[in-house]
Amino acid sequence: MKEFKDKVAVITGAASGIGLGLARRAAKEGMKIVLADIEKDALNRTEEELKRSGANVISVITDVSKLEDIENLARLTIETFGEVHILCNNAGVGMGGFLWDCTFTDFDWVIGVNLWGVIHGIRTFIPIMRQQDNECHIVNTASMSGLITGEAANGIYSITKHGVVALSESLRTSFSLRESKIGVSVVCPGIVNTRITDCERNRPAELCGPDYELSLERFIKLYPKAEETVKAYTKMYEEGTSPDQAGDVIFECIKKNIFYIFTETGDHWKDYMKTRFRGILNDFKQNKTILENL
């Protein structure tokens, strides 16, 4: 997809971070925009900002972990604009903690937003796009955590982001077999200045549990020596790539039909990916030797 003017973009997690950067770029491209987010006040501010810039925009309170919310989002999109051309499954959350310290409600919340949110998006919007039979594009936000070795204290997040990468790769293969007019990209951000370290502000009460406390606070309580690491981690995100730059990169990659989209291309990210795949190939080689000698 190379032309965006007057096309319709649906963006989840649109009230902050990368979603806001995508929305701002979509507005500059002259697109009609559907903003979706769970955070009402921030969503209203984003809608007002884009309208002041002249954009044709609506906003819809949406919990992407709930299929009925995504179905409502699709219904309002079609009722308002008649079509959808770009779907950005961008909403995401994260939390700190070793897997054995995480509660089942921790798993439910992060998997519900990060993975089921994408599944609900594609299951709901792809049939609409296929029926339109025109040029469309799906953008799924994963993470560098979906390409490198799982992070020790960010396990649930890593699980979901590897899942989003695999889901997106499967979509790409499926679309190529069907000669579809729908393109797909998976975004693997590095360190972007989003509010992901504060994302538990939007955690539903029913997924907190009776003894709930903020995951980073719980992690520090369990492992006091990690406090400085947590502070450095938070500061690192505050100094990361701007969401607007991330939005610009993503749109430029959509134009070129690039599948894997990176917000940063430092050699350290390349080294992390090499380390993971070198380990896989090394174990493959050792397994081959074992099998040959059985």
- Catalytic residues, by residue number, are 157
| Token pair belonging to 24 | 């701002």
DSSP string covering 224-289: GGGHHHHHHHHHHHHTSB-HHHHHHHHHHHHHTT-SEEES---HHHHHHHHHHHHHHHHHHHHHHH
Quote helix, strand, coil % in the chain, to nearest 5: 60, 15, 30
| Beta-sheet strands, E only, within 90-158 | 136-141
* 4 within 8 A of 32, measured Cβ to Cβ: no
In terms of C-beta density within 10 A (0-12 exposed, 13-18 middle, 19 or more buried), how is residue 203 classed?
buried
Distance CA 191, CA 206 (A): 30
For residue 64, what is the DSSP state?
Answer: T
Q: Is the Cα torsion angle 275, 276, 281, 285 positive or negative in sign?
A: positive
The CA distances from residue 153 to 27, 99, 115, 198, 207, in Å, are 37, 7, 19, 16, 20
Strands 182-188 and 136-141, how do they pair?
parallel
AA identity, residue 12? T
